[in-house]
Structure 1
Amino acid sequence: MKRDPFDVLVKPLLTEKITGLQEQANRVAFLVKKDATKIEVRKAVESALKVKVKSVNVMVVMGKKKRQGRFLGKRPDWKKAIVTLREGEKLELYESA
């Protein structure tokens, strides 16, 4: 079953750490669907953003515990993908930010 690239990629992650990685090692990060695999993320980035991908690292980020008075809750877990682009590849998405 082939998935739509925009069904795999939820949104780009723009943090200070990711911006530093983008400048130093040509890496970008995305929040992806929880059930997405490395291969699906690679295909989604290559087809949606028209760049060549060197490697993909994924990790599940555990949601934080939050309190509202005496009630304890938990934010949902989410998956992050750090994509290393090939030499000479650039993303205009991050250049304009």
Structure 2
Amino acid sequence: MNRITYAGFTDKSIRLLRNNQYTSNVESGSTRTEIKHWVELFFGVKVIAMNSHRLSGKGKRMGPAMGHTMHYRRMIITLQPGYSIPTLRKKST
């Protein structure tokens, strides 16, 4: 479970919550099947689809040398209807 770094909250990811899709950033070396297994095991949900794309790190200048931050992968996880990730569930009023 240490491969999933954090849940991404952007305008698009908040819109995707309506479709039962959750966005999270993971380490760039993780595979789709590995992440699917950990999400199903840890949260007790059923994953029906996963989309991913690789994001490159930002450039950082350190004096005359140019470096960059680490690359990472963003996963969009689609759950079966009726399932939700408990930490991101809406509050009922």
TM (normalized to structure 1)? Answer: 0.79
Q: What is the CA-CA distance between 1:95 and the residue it aligns to?
A: 2.3
Are the equivalent residues in 2 in contact too, given 1:13–1:29 (CA < 8 A)?
Answer: yes
How many angstroms apart in 1 are the aligned matches of 2:14 and 2:41?
23
User: Please, which of 35, 44, 48 is the counterpart of residue 50 of structure 1?
Assistant: 44
Partner of 2:23: 29
Matched, 1:81 2:75: yes
Contiguous gaps of at least 5 residues in structure 1: 1-5
Q: What is the CA-CA distance between 1:69 and the residue it aligns to?
A: 7.0
Partner of 1:62: 56
Deviations 1:46-77 (A, max 9, x none): 00111110111121101122346765332211
> CA-atom RMSD, angstroms?
2.1
Q: What one-letter code is carried by the residue in structure 2 that aligns with 1:89?
A: Y
Instruction: Give identity over the alignment, percent.
Output: 25
Contiguous gaps of at least 5 residues in structure 2: none
Are the equivalent residues in 2 in contact too, given 1:8–1:44 (CA < 8 A)?
Answer: no
TM (normalized to structure 2)? Answer: 0.82
